[in-house]
Structure 1
Amino acid sequence: MGREFVEIFDEWAHTYDESVGGQDPQYADVFAHYEAILEAVAARAVSPVVEFGTGTGNLLEKLQERELEAVGVEPNGAMKKAASEKYPEATIIDGDFIEYQLDTKPNTFVSSYAFHHLTDGEKAQAIKRYASELPAGGKVVFADTVFESEEAKQERIRYEESRGFKDLVEDLNREYYTTLPVMQDIFESVGFAVEFTQLNDYVWLMDATKK
């Protein structure tokens, strides 16, 4: 359920904001238009909102700026501490995409740069749970790295290898980056209508509405 990557984020908690700000050239393409990507997710959310993988709190900030009622869900202690220090008024609970306990019934689930920590089977399990908890018209709005096909993914890995971006290549091979057809099948199989919008060379916005 993505928890095998939790320890990695002990280090990322101290460097994540620098990376998303474009200071790490290996990840510049991954985080291109970062602020606009977060805005795109927040603009489609309807209160109450649950954010998975709160990290250092950047998307949570966008939700709060829109005066949306939002709860963050974060499994990594260092990340949760960083977000809480930046936004002490925010509610951030321990949990992950599948295992979480909420006090209120959400209208929207959101996330950015985190869903790839789940296998395709776990992604399906998570989306099935959201379908059971959302009302008709409820939304799942995720921004994450997704590829148009497995061939496109392998082509991108070869490209990054040619650039000498060893850390990025390691990430692409280690984590569970999936494809658009797989995500479409997952959403539609449990009653969502989903639209995909490409936001940079890596990231797609997945905007799903429960029928």
Structure 2
Amino acid sequence: MGREFMHIFDEWADSYDTTVQGKNEQYKAVFENYDDILEEVSKRTNGITIEFGIGTGNLTEKVLQKDVELVAVEPNRKMRLVAERRFPYLSIHDGDFLNFPKLGKVDTIISSYAFHHLTDDEKKRAFELYHSLLSESGEIIFADTMFVNEQAHEDMINTAKAKQFYELAEDLNREYYTTVPRMKQMLHETGYQVQFKKLNDFVWITHAKKN
């Protein structure tokens, strides 16, 4: 589950925050409206919340400004060290979308720019796990790269190559980006209502509510 990408997370730990600020031309469009994307997730968050893949803690910072009880989970050691320096009062657990601390019921499950590290089979398994973890009116709120269909994914890879954005093209080829219709089907099959909102050319909000 995404652990095969640990070496990439190691590389991102030192440069992630400058990249999301738009200082890496290859990823500028991926992180366009970044602050608004995080705000979109944060404003929907309530109650006892688990955040998967906190990274350097940008979404975490916004959520901690709200009246929520946050459980933070991050699989990468270097990312955890960055976040621990930023939030010395917050316990950050070593875990991932499928392997995480034993918890009671939670009200919200959130993540940003991370769910694409799971295959579609793993994504569906995660939704099944979360159904029993969530409270009766529990919600999942993920911001992540998806595409309207496979052709749109292929077109984006070709566009990146044409611009000589070879690192971006490699990422789009290597990681497990799904489509909106597949995400919708997975969630319906595992017991959720879902709405989507596109926030830039790459990123969509997935907001799923437990049936």
Q: How does 1:8-157 map to 2 (within 5 A)?
A: 8-157=8-157
Q: Are the counterparts in 1 of residues 104 and 133 from structure 2 also a CA contact under 8 Å? A: no
What residue ranges of structure 2 are gaps of 5+ in the alignment? none
| Secondary structure at 1:82 match in 2 | helix
- Residue type at the aligned position of 2:182: V
C-alpha contact (below 8 Å) 1:141/1:205 kept by paired residues: yes
CA distance in 2, matches of 1:66, 1:23: 29
* Contact kept in structure 2, 1:193 and 1:208, CA below 8 Å: yes
Q: Distance in 2 between matches of 1:46 and 1:131?
A: 17
- 1:91 partner letter: S
How far is the alpha carbon of 1:87 from its aligned partner?
1.1
TM-score, normalized by length of structure 2? 0.98
The TM-score with structure 1 as length reference comes to: 0.98
- Alignment partner of 2:205: what SS? strand
CA–CA distance in 1 between the matches of 2:105 and 2:192?
A: 18
Q: Which ranges in structure 1 are unaligned for 5 or more consecutive residues?
A: none
Which 4+ residue blocks in structure 1 deviate beyond 6 angstroms?
Answer: none
CA deviation after TM superposition for structure 1 residue 68, in Å: 1.6
Matches within 5 A, 1:160-199: 160-199=160-199
**Shift in Å at residue 105 of structure 1?**
2.2
Contact 1:51 1:72 in 2 (8 A): yes
Q: Is the 8 A contact 1:139 1:210 kept in 2?
A: yes
Q: What is the number of equivalent residue pairs in this alignment?
A: 211
* Counterpart secondary structure, 2:14: helix
The alignment yields a C-alpha RMSD, in angstroms, of 0.8
Matched residue, 2:202: 202
**1:135-181 deviations in Å (ceiling 9; x for gaps):** 22100000000000001100111111111100000000000000001
Specify the code of the residue in structure 2 equivalent to 1:95.
Answer: G
Indicate conservation of the 8 Å contact 1:198/1:204, yes or no: yes
* Structure 1 residue 207, shift from structure 2 partner: 0.3
CA distance in 1: counterparts of 2:18 and 2:63, whole angstroms: 21
Q: Tell me, what secondary structure is at the counterpart of 2:135? A: coil
2:165 maps to a residue whose letter is F
Q: Identity over aligned residues, as a percent?
A: 47
